[in-house]
Amino acid sequence: MHENLKICLAVSAGGHATQLLKLKDVWESAECFSITTSPAVKEQLARFGPVYVVPEANRRRPIKAIRVLTRCMKIVCSEQPDVVISTGAAVGCIAGIVGRLTGARIVWVDSIANVERLSLSAYLAKPFADLVLTQWPEVADKYKSVEYVGRVV
């Protein structure tokens, strides 16, 4: 089913990457490329396809966020994914927005650390995402169009 899809895996380093890698069965048979924020994560993702490293960005670093946006625009427009999958954070949100503008479907899996509410990135991604998943049923109950289907970790 996934063999003809091109998937972008967009993820920040640390727990976000750990959780995304636990979902590898979802994309293993598809053509993939990744966008991440750390050379260490690049090594982990390299077995799935090309990996692009962009700077870490957040709301406290608006200039870096603009750089990440510019870089993600070049990468996504060049690679033309059918689907963008992310577990966060800012790089996933940015790649998801750009992906949506190029016609990709967006899947967001919010971190298990967000026990009471969606993360800021998930909240920002929600309006353009095709599927937003939380790892807590109580969080899904609070938001329209957010689903709980189980935990990754």
pLDDT exceeds cutoff 60 at 1: no
For residue range 47-75, list pLDDT tens digits in order: 999 999 999 998 888 899 999 999 999 99
- The percentage of residues in the chain with a pLDDT greater than 70, rounded to a whole number, is 97
Q: For the beta carbon of residue 132, count every other beta carbon within 10 angstroms.
A: 21
pTM of the model: 0.94
Q: Considering Cα of 23, then 24, then 29, then 32, what sign does the dihedral take? A: positive
For residue range 74-107, list pLDDT tens digits in order: 999 999 999 999 999 999 999 999 999 999 999 9
For residue range 111-125, list pLDDT tens digits in order: 998 999 999 999 999
